[in-house]
Amino acid sequence: NAGVMQNPRHLVRRRGQEARLRCSPMKGHSHVYWYRQLPEEGLKFMVYLQKENIIDESGMPKERFSAEFPKEGPSILRIQQVVRGDSAAYFCASSPDRGMQTQYFGPGTRLLVL
């Protein structure tokens, strides 16, 4: 059973460009979460989604950031008009319907904004 998959693993963008980060949850998992980890800081929750629904976006910045988890395909975290402060590691996690409190993390996407 493949784990949580994220791509790309590394992403370089210039200021003002768009970044798209993709996450495929573990097989059978319908809950997806996005977290951001800044250097020397812990992981901070951004958004929690189920298929086609945003359940909790209390950690998402109000502007430039959006997330989706369509019926088919991976979850996407989209950052528009990136700024240097967006440089961080972005982790996706998923959990099953049973035992939904246990979240399993992907390898992360490291975004560098030049």
Partner 1 sequence: QKEVEQDPGPLSVPEGAIVSLNCTYSNSAFQYFMWYRQYSRKGPELLMYTYSSGNKEDGRFTAQVDKSSKYISLFIRDSQPSDSATYLCAMSRNTGTASKLTFGTGTRLQVTL
Give the nearest distance from C-beta 74 to partner 1 in angstroms. 16
Residue 45 contacts partner 1 per CB under 8 A: yes
Give the nearest distance from C-beta 21 to partner 1 in angstroms. 13
Q: In the complex with partner 1, which residue's Cβ is closer, 68 or 105?
A: 105
Say if CB 80 and CB 13 are below 8 A apart: no
Q: Write out the H or E segment, with its range, that includes residue 21.
A: strand 19-24
Written as one letter, the residue type at 104 is Y
E runs forming strands in 1-114: 5-7, 10-13, 19-24, 31-37, 43-50, 53-56, 65-68, 75-79, 88-95, 104-105, 109-113
Site residues for partner 1, 65-84, by CB under 8 A, read none
Residue 39 contacts partner 1 per CB under 8 A: no
Residue 56 contacts partner 1 per CB under 8 A: yes
Binding site for partner 1 (CB under 8 A): 4, 6, 31, 33, 35, 40-45, 48, 55-56, 58-59, 91, 93, 95, 100-108, 110
